[in-house]
Amino acid sequence: MSRIKKIGLIIFVVVVAITAIITYFVVQINDNLDYLVNMEIVDVDLNQVQDGTYVGEYAVFPVKVIVEVEVNDHQITDITIVEHQNGQGTPAEIIVEDVILEQSLQVDSIAGATYSSKVILLAIRDALLKAI
């Protein structure tokens, strides 16, 4: 086999391998995000949550959130987003106001930022569960 054919074959194999790897990761990301969208977020009984500030986190690639949730007298009094890695999901951060107002995780996702909305809610849930 000539040197040019060997180089061509190597390039072909590398391109096929890179394509397969990229396809695998795209499928994984889509599966993660589909799972996230269809996930039901169950409320936490605030009557069981002790006073304090609790850290919660949740991540589904490509979104990661860390929150601090403050609870006083079985009420969520403040939620601080410590870290929010996202694509275009920054508008979802307003969802913490809805959670505080409703005292519930059963709030609507922010349009255009569904993935980040869900991950923020799941991070809040994680924090509250640590308080029980």
What would the DSSP string read from start to end of 22-54?
A: HHHHHHHHHHHHHHHHHPPPPP--GGGPPSEEE
- Spatial CB neighbours of 87, under 8 Å, sequence gap ≥ 6: 62, 63
- Spatial CB neighbours of 70, under 8 Å, sequence gap ≥ 6: 52, 53, 76, 77, 78, 79, 80
pLDDT tens string 72-93: 999 999 999 999 998 788 999 9
Overall pTM surpassing 0.75 (yes/no): yes
Cβ atoms within 10 Å of 81's Cβ, excluding its own: 18
Is residue 120 within 8 Å of 108, Cβ to Cβ?
A: no
Say what the pLDDT of residue 87 is: 76
Say what the pLDDT of residue 99 is: 98
25: exposed, middle or buried (C-beta count within 10 Å: 0-12, 13-18, 19+)? exposed
Say what the pLDDT of residue 91 is: 95
Say what the pLDDT of residue 37 is: 84
Q: Which fold does the domain 46-130 belong to in CATH?
A: Sufe protein. Chain: A (3.90.1010)
For residues 85 and 88, give the distance between their C-alpha atoms in angstroms, rounded to a whole number. 9
- pLDDT tens by residue, the chain, 132 residues: 789 999 999 999 999 999 999 999 999 888 888 888 889 999 999 999 999 999 999 999 889 999 999 999 999 999 999 999 987 889 999 999 999 999 999 999 999 999 999 999 999 999 999 999
